[in-house]
Amino acid sequence: KVEVLPIEAIVRGYITGSGWKEYEKQGTVCDMALPEGLRESQKLPRVLFTPSTKAEYGDHDENIHPDKCAEIIGEERAKEMARVAEELYSKAAEYALGKGIIIADTKFEFGVDKQGNLMLIDEVLTPDSSRFWPTASYKVGRGQESYDKQYLRDYLTSIDFDMHTPIDLPPTVLDNTLKKYIEAYVKLTGNRPELG
C-alpha cells in the first residue's frame, strides 16, 4: 500500500501550455524567472521541475513554486521528487527524440510506501500525461502538432465545454484522438498496439 503524495510532478523541457501563458504575462513559470525573449514551444535552457497541487475531478490543478512543494511534502522529499522526475523525463526525452518525437513536458505522480521509499505511481509518459510533438513539423514560435490529448482539449475548448457537465464525444473526435495515440505508440515502440 502506498500513500499518494498530493503533488503532481510536472517536468518541462519546452515552454508551452500553462507555462507559456504564465511566461507571456510575467516572464515566469511557477513563479520561477526565465530569460527574456523565449518564444512559444521553445526548448528551455534547462529542464524545469514545475509542480502543481492535485485538484478534485473537474477542477484545474494549481501550478506552484517548488518551495511551496517543499512546504507541503517536506524539503527532502520535494528534492527527491524533483531529482527523480527530472531524471525520468530527461531519459525518456532523449529516447523519444531518437524516434522522432519531442516530449515537451510530462507529469509524474508519486507515493511513499510503508518504509518511506518514494514510489512512481499512476500512468507514466502517456499521451494523457505528456505532450508529444513530431520533430518533423516542430517549429518555435507557435503551437505544435501533437500526438497527445491536445487535439481533444482543442475540441472541448471549441465547444466551450464547462469541465463539469458530462458529454458524449463525436465519433470523429474519438477516432482522431485514438489515431494520434496509436501513431505515437508505433513511432516510439516500432510495434502496433493490440487493442481489445
Please check whether residue 177 is in contact with residue 128, taking contact to mean a CB–CB distance below 8 angstroms: no
One digit per residue, the tens of pLDDT, for the chain of length 196 reads 899 999 999 999 999 999 999 999 999 999 999 999 999 999 999 999 999 997 665 566 789 999 999 999 999 999 999 999 999 999 999 999 999 999 999 999 999 999 999 999 999 999 889 999 999 999 999 999 998 787 888 889 899 998 788 899 999 999 988 998 899 999 999 999 988 7
Alpha helices in the chain (DSSP H): 17-26, 66-73, 75-97, 150-158, 171-189
